[in-house]
Amino acid sequence: MLPATASVAALRVFAAVLALTLVSAGVALVAAAAVVPVQQPDAEVIEQGKMLYADQCASCHGMEGKGDGPAARFLAEEVPDLSTAEWKYAEDGSVAALAAVIKAGIDDSPMTPFEGTLSDEEINAVATYVVHVLRSKADTGG
């Protein structure tokens, strides 16, 4: 058996080691959190998407995405309201699904492919704008 003082010392060492272990585990957790991709898209991407949308999409889909752009009434086909519509082509309504529709276009429709007109990066930006700005305005009623 160790004398009482020795076991107190041993306990202190143990406590110190335990504290250090917890601290380094904490540091590891913080480091792991830092590499998790951010959910909110970059403000620059949104801004780029907004400009591209105004240029390339608003004539038909309208500035707020409501399907009421100045060209809409000249089209035989109804222009969908991007801010509220149930997606017919854009599957789950994700940025990736919208980007795929925008890139490939829709057959026999005024919604022509944007591949060649816009780069993949630009298509991604405009899809991000629709999903995160036009869509979320409608979702929150604001």
Closest Cα partner for 102 from 87, 89, 92, 113? 113
Binding site for ligand HEC (CB under 6 A): 56-57, 59-61, 71, 75, 77, 79-80, 82, 85, 87-90, 98, 101-102, 106, 109-111, 114, 126, 130
Q: Which of 96, 99, 59, 97 is nearest to 79 (CA)?
A: 59
**How far apart are CB 39 and ligand HEC at their closest, in Å?**
21
Per DSSP, 39 falls in state S
Residue 107 C-beta: closest distance to ligand HEC, Å: 8
45 or 57: whose CB is closer to ligand HEC? Answer: 57
With respect to ligand HEC, which residue has the nearer C-beta, 36 or 78?
A: 78
Distance CA 18, CA 83 (A): 54
